[in-house]
Amino acid sequence: MTEIWTGIRMYFETNGAEYLLCVKEHFMISVLALLTAFVIGIPLGYLCVCRKKWERWITGAFQVLRIIPSVAILIRLIPVMGTGVRPAMTALVLLAVPPILMNTAAGFSEVPAFMLETAEGLGMTERQMFWKVKVPLAMPMILTGMRTAAIEIIASAKIGAGGLGGIILTGLGLNRTDLLLIGGISVALLSLAAGMVFRLLMKLQPAAA
């Protein structure tokens, strides 16, 4: 155990700048994957509510992709996209879309009908009802889906996209427990931080107008 802690201390003494770069890279990769999944998942989730006959096909397709391990998706994408960030990013986005999509659909589906009837009675247009009633009421569920997606992305970004995954893979290759601990604990802390940020956003959500 003493050797492990000595290795950790020496790593930070000699590779502190490199470690911070890995954390920054991991964070940027995770944010980019999450934003891409958001752009895909939110419209598809709302489409599932508006077009019920499409819901089974849309959700079914992404649920199938979700149960496939990210590493397996990455292996399939490498012959098409090559190695590097692109296939890894695609695998992360496919992993993150389902929770956002499903929670978006659930959030909009659970908007009480009487709220919409009241808004319509007040003379609101469809656009006003969407932004002032539907979106605020659905947002807690959407943020829950995004929190789940963010945690999954951060935990899975070690599959070849760089960042802290590079430290973990190096630790595995060299059989160095100190590097595995550094990479693993850092990923866990980033996941906890992401969860806290989304919980805070959920508490700050305003009520429907």
Let me know if 157 is exposed, middle or buried by CB neighbors in 10 A (0-12, 13-18, 19+). Answer: buried
Report DSSP state, residue 83: S
DSSP assignment string, 97-110 = HHHHHHHHHHHHHT
In this prediction, residue 173 carries a pLDDT of 82
Report DSSP state, residue 124: -
Joined tokens for residue 67: 């149960």
What pTM was computed for the model?
0.82
In this prediction, residue 189 carries a pLDDT of 93
Close Cβ partners of 125 (under 8 Å, ≥ 6 residues apart): none
Close Cβ partners of 77 (under 8 Å, ≥ 6 residues apart): 86, 87, 90, 91
In this prediction, residue 69 carries a pLDDT of 58
Task: Give residue 166's identity as a one-letter amino acid code.
Answer: G
Joined tokens for residue 184: 């693993």
Residues of the chain with pLDDT under 50: 79, 208-209
pLDDT digits (tens, 9 = 90+) for 94-143: 888 989 999 999 999 988 888 888 888 888 888 889 988 899 999 999 99
**Residues 62/63/69/71 CA torsion (nearest 10 deg):** 0
Residue closest to 119 by CA, chosen among 109, 135, 133: 133
In this prediction, residue 42 carries a pLDDT of 94
Q: What is the CA radius of gyration of the chain?
A: 21
137 phi and psi, to 5 degrees? -75, -30
